[in-house]
Structure 1
Amino acid sequence: MPLPAPTALDTFDHRMTAFGTDDDFLAAALPFLAEGLAAPGEPAPVAITAPGRLDLLRDALGADAERVTYIAHTDWYTGSAANAVARSAGYVTAHAAPGGRVHLLMEPDWGGRAGRSARESAEWLRYEALANLLFAPLATTALCAYDTRTAGAAVVAAARRAHPGTGVYTDPAVIAAELDAVPLPEPPPDAHRLTGAVDPDAVRAWASGQGLSAADAELFAAAVGEAVSAVGPVTGALLWGAAPACVCEVRASRPVADPLAGFVPPTAPGLEPGQGLWFTRQVCAYVDVRDDAGGSSVRLQFK
């Protein structure tokens, strides 16, 4: 799933629009799609929006409707923010013109997973910010559309900071640091402790005892193992929770010091062992990396 090789003139064009009516949506979406249709050498522009708005676009585009690719955002945003990174990278790799050239109209599903809690919303805003770094070398053009009726004023205001050209754009590393400054809940006092090197067999056995199926316990242990390999050497781990929300926090003696850790697509396609925190982020609902004066902690929650 590696991203296409950039060319000297490539640059990511990351735009944003907020709308409160369907007319406002069309006023922003139609010129953007027309721009994509007119871009020389580009494939069909892609509209990833709420299902009902796909019908609006088809009707409004008229004769050009068949030249646009339509994807319901309920089919695109089906997992975590890290899964959305993988899906976007995979699509650009498979369908974009050289250098990643393609126009993507993208409406996050704030009525679904992204908007179900403050924690989820924060992870999606992290993704929006880090996209500026992940896709920076590419000539991909993205218009992120925010429905104020579902996203809400606070989310829209935060999203403006993640998009260049809004007047309040903020360095992605600063946004990531702000999100990481929010303290994580303390582990419960009865958390199961592993000292020294973390044995995947011990993690697997513990997870099975907490109610995960054999397959999920194996996947959870693999995710922990990949995190350990990425940040090690580790000095121990804590395990707590019950299926499906099993949690492991590993402690390492050195900082991670990279806001993109686990977000950069690997060179090998597909999901397989040896991909470090990318693997961990793809199979876990949450992965929190925290650096401190003594090293780092990586906390992962399976579901």
Structure 2
Amino acid sequence: MTTTPHGLFDHRMAVYGADDAFVAAAVPFLREGLGAAGAARPVAVAAPDKLGLLRDVLDGDAKDVVLIPHTEWYTGSAANAVARGASYLAAQAGPGGRVHLLMEPVWNGRAGRSARETTEWIRYEALANLLFAPMATTALCAYDTRVAGAAVVAAARRAHPGTGVYQDPVRLAAELDSVPLPVPPADAEVFASPTAAAVVGRARARGLPPADAELFAEAVRAAAAALGPVSRVLMWGEAPGCVCELRTARRVGDPLAGFVPPACAALAPDQGLWFTRQVCAYVDVRDDASGATVRLQYG
């Protein structure tokens, strides 16, 4: 549990396999936050049963801790979690982002239901070291081995300083992005330009409702505008998992592309890959010698 070498952000990890071990890690952390000068009220985002345990043990101090069920915080993709965290810090943290955050993902929901979801979560954990580096925020990420699993915990250790196996976030993100994407299906549609009409029409034909098809088209267009000229567009899949793949001659390069919150809080298509990542369940980027392939999956 040491301070990250990337800035002020103090990114910790607690691993436990029983409720009493959770309490033993969480309560001192929250009380540390209660005593931190200039900090906002500490926050615990966890499973409802664990919040009940914290209320009982904290007793009179519980009124000074913000308790949030994790199903209300982790409601979508890893990029959505970035947005929620950034928004909370901007609105609720003390000067410079001073607040203690206890964070327990919904491991039996999106974050832990598949290897791909786990990969996206570990990417978020790694990039958080860079995204929140300027903030004097202290975060304790809680990993319950009864639901997270050994593979998830082992991967997460690589994203947390002080674990002995911590890896630079850029290197870790590059490793995650080195895994080849699955080959598109043989019946994928090929077209030249990701215009709104082209994407909406194909998305509607694949089962997306009108509003979702239009939102997906906005996400595709936002990505295309950020990437530069698109030489090829592929589309496949059935609703809600419609997929659109863009091929561009320009490499993306930046592992933080689409993860850095914009200055304006309102979500808009002109925010490029940030908008795309907020709308889509998955955004996979693969750079190569001749450009980049960016694959967007709506749901």
Do both proteins adopt the same fold according to a TM-score greater than 0.5, normalized to the shorter chain? Answer: yes
Alignment of 1:1-303 (within 5 A): 11-195=8-192, 197-303=193-299
Specify the code of the residue in structure 1 equivalent to 2:52. Answer: D
Specify the code of the residue in structure 2 equivalent to 1:177. Answer: A
Specify the code of the residue in structure 1 equivalent to 2:263. Answer: T
Which blocks of at least 5 consecutive residues in structure 2 are unaligned? 1-6
**CA distance, structure 2, for counterparts of residue 162 and residue 271 of structure 1:** 28
Show CA shifts across 1:84-142 (max 9, x none).
01111111011001111110000111111111110001100100000000000110100
**CA distance, structure 2, for counterparts of residue 98 and residue 148 of structure 1:** 34
TM-aligned CA deviation for residue 42 of structure 1: 1.1
TM-aligned CA deviation for residue 212 of structure 1: 1.1
Question: TM-score scaled to structure 2, two decimals?
Answer: 0.96
Specify the code of the residue in structure 2 equivalent to 1:276. Answer: G
Specify the code of the residue in structure 1 equivalent to 2:12. Answer: R
Q: Which secondary structure does the structure 1 equivalent of 2:190 belong to?
A: strand
**CA distance, structure 2, for counterparts of residue 214 and residue 68 of structure 1:** 42
**CA distance, structure 2, for counterparts of residue 31 and residue 278 of structure 1:** 36
Specify the code of the residue in structure 1 equivalent to 2:43. Answer: V
**CA distance, structure 2, for counterparts of residue 243 and residue 22 of structure 1:** 39
Q: Which secondary structure does the structure 2 equivalent of 1:271 belong to?
A: coil
Kindly tell me the number of residue pairs found equivalent between the two proteins.
Answer: 293
TM-aligned CA deviation for residue 198 of structure 1: 2.6
The list of structure 1 runs, each at least 4 consecutive aligned residues, that deviate by more than 3 angstroms after superposition, is none
Give RMSD over aligned pairs: 0.9
Residues 258 and 41 of structure 1: CA distance in aligned 2, closer, same or farther (over 3 Å) = same
Specify the code of the residue in structure 2 equivalent to 1:190. Answer: D
Q: Which secondary structure does the structure 1 equivalent of 2:107 belong to?
A: coil
Q: Which secondary structure does the structure 2 equivalent of 1:150 belong to?
A: coil
TM-aligned CA deviation for residue 207 of structure 1: 0.9
Identity of aligned pairs, percent? 68
TM-aligned CA deviation for residue 246 of structure 1: 0.7
Specify the code of the residue in structure 2 equivalent to 1:209. Answer: A
**CA distance, structure 1, for counterparts of residue 103 and residue 207 of structure 2:** 37
TM-aligned CA deviation for residue 47 of structure 1: 0.5
Q: Which secondary structure does the structure 2 equivalent of 1:149 belong to?
A: coil
**CA distance, structure 1, for counterparts of residue 182 and residue 292 of structure 2:** 16
Specify the code of the residue in structure 2 equivalent to 1:221. Answer: A
TM-aligned CA deviation for residue 62 of structure 1: 1.5
Q: Which secondary structure does the structure 2 equivalent of 1:136 belong to?
A: coil
Which blocks of at least 5 consecutive residues in structure 1 are unaligned? 1-9
Q: Which secondary structure does the structure 1 equivalent of 2:191 belong to?
A: strand
**CA distance, structure 2, for counterparts of residue 270 and residue 151 of structure 1:** 33
Q: Which secondary structure does the structure 1 equivalent of 2:265 belong to?
A: coil
Specify the code of the residue in structure 2 equivalent to 1:37. Answer: L
